[in-house]
Amino acid sequence: MFAIYTTPLRTVAGCTLSALLLSCVGAESGAMKRAPRTNDSAAPVDSDSPADSDSAVDSDSVDSSPVDSDSGPIDTGTSNPCGEASVIPRFTAPATPAVSPVSSDPDQGSDNVYAPEIVRISDQLCMMYYGGQGSDGHDRIFLATSTDCANWAPWPDRAHPEPVIDNGSSNHVNDPSVVRVDGTTYLYYTDAANAEDDRIHLAISTDGVHFTLQGMVLDVGAPGTWDSQKVGRPSVVLREGTFWLYYDGNDGTARHVGVATSTDGRTFTRHPSNPLVLNAGAVHVQRIADTYVMVQESHDGTLAATSADGLEWCDQGQIFGLTGASWDAYGQVTPFLYSKDGSRVDALLFGGASDACWCRNRIGQATPEGDPVPSDPDDGCGACVSASDCTEACRDGGYGLDGYCAVPGSADPGACCACVAGE
């Protein structure tokens, strides 16, 4: 459970704490569906390499039968199987990345972070899980926190981020996808024991920070099947008590997308109509109002498709192009669509590729046109904290995962910062 302290009780490291505890409801996050593309160029075979922006999907392979939704079924008898494309806004390009690798730290020394996944815990706390590559070449999963879901602080220290899931004996772990159930965080991820022999694993946590590994939950398919060599890049959503796990599968010749379901989040059964989407991968799906929206990586920007039922998809083309800056000059990878409450799109996140290898990325965050760009909630308390900002002050004092300047301009160390604490 998470709480924000707002009325004064005592001050440690410049942070005002309180006796007022506001309980927070965990928000579910994850991806559900994969969208078809409309031309004939195949995506790369390697599930960890860039997807071609012109990847093709055989729409005849998509099962368009009705499916229960996490927020109620959508009427598939509608004459518009695409849903409403208007739920996808136009975006304002970010001036700078939202999260950059801390290249001076060995755990992120390869200058490469990507695959963001946001979980909104409350109005005062968001948590972003993301992948980062160390100086040793191995990928790990990291955490950043925010009090406004826009300005992010790597955990536990801006200058020295630590993985919440280390690679252990594996070559890499990455591609987090998160759902929260009854106070437990289920984090699904790609684990490659050797090279890029991807499998899908699970870790669980009661505080969103300290995880217990649960092992593999989806292995490769039988010899000769479409996913017989690799399964990775999970996207999971909880729908009416059932976990729907969408994933990239690879047989050594092409990458496709399939789905497997589970009632306990651990034992998954492949859908008989797999693969659902051909020559595609690394997508994220979010339900916005009564329409499912899928975002997909490409060299030219972020692509999208929409659906009324989450299975039959309509291509909407590119929804956001390259910013013109050097940090995403070679593409946008592993996109993520963030929605505060499911009624609208609040942000588009992606890994901006600064190198043609797609191995030098930083995380960008674009906001819908017309939405104000949030100022840093840490700003304004420099005169009353000894640490670099309220986030660091709260963490240093042991009173929270994050913090913000509650009284900008104050010089009183007993009344300037508010801490968002985890229990």
Spell out the SS3 assignment of 124-135: CEEEEEEEEECC
Task: Indicate if the pLDDT at residue 140 is higher than 90.
Answer: yes
User: Residue 105 domain-assigned?
Assistant: yes
- Are 419 and 4 contacting, i.e. CB atoms less than 8 angstroms apart? yes
DSSP code of residue 368 = E
pLDDT tens, 366-377? 999 999 888 889
Residue tagged 């965080």 (tokens): 185
Q: Which of 292, 335, 284, 337 is nearest to 312 (CA)?
A: 292
Looking only at the bridges linking them, the beta strands covering 153-154 and 269-270 are unpaired
What 3-state class would DSSP assign to 60?
A: helix
- Are 30 and 283 contacting, i.e. CB atoms less than 8 angstroms apart? no
Whether a cis peptide bond, with omega within 30° of 0, leads into 272 is no
The residue segments making up the domain with residue 20 are 1-27+381-423
Q: What is the pTM of this model?
A: 0.82
* 128 and 222 housed in the same domain: yes
Q: What is the mean pLDDT of residues 162-168?
A: 97
Distances (CA, A) of 89 to 63, 226, 332, 344, 400: 27, 35, 18, 9, 34
* 22 and 165 housed in the same domain: no
* 16 and 69 housed in the same domain: no
Structure tokens at 134: 């160390």
How many domains does the structure of the chain reveal?
A: 2
Q: What is the mean pLDDT of residues 270-287?
A: 85
User: Residue 165 domain-assigned?
Assistant: yes
pLDDT tens, 187-208? 999 999 998 899 999 999 999 9
Whether a cis peptide bond, with omega within 30° of 0, leads into 377 is no
Distance of alpha carbon 50 from alpha carbon 356, whole angstroms: 9
Percent share of the chain, pLDDT over 90: 54
For residue 311, the model assigns a pLDDT of 77
Q: Indicate which CATH number applies to the domain containing 67.
A: 2.115.10.20
User: Residue 267 domain-assigned?
Assistant: yes
Q: Which of 22-26, 324-328, 331-335, 405-409 has the lowest mean pLDDT?
A: 22-26
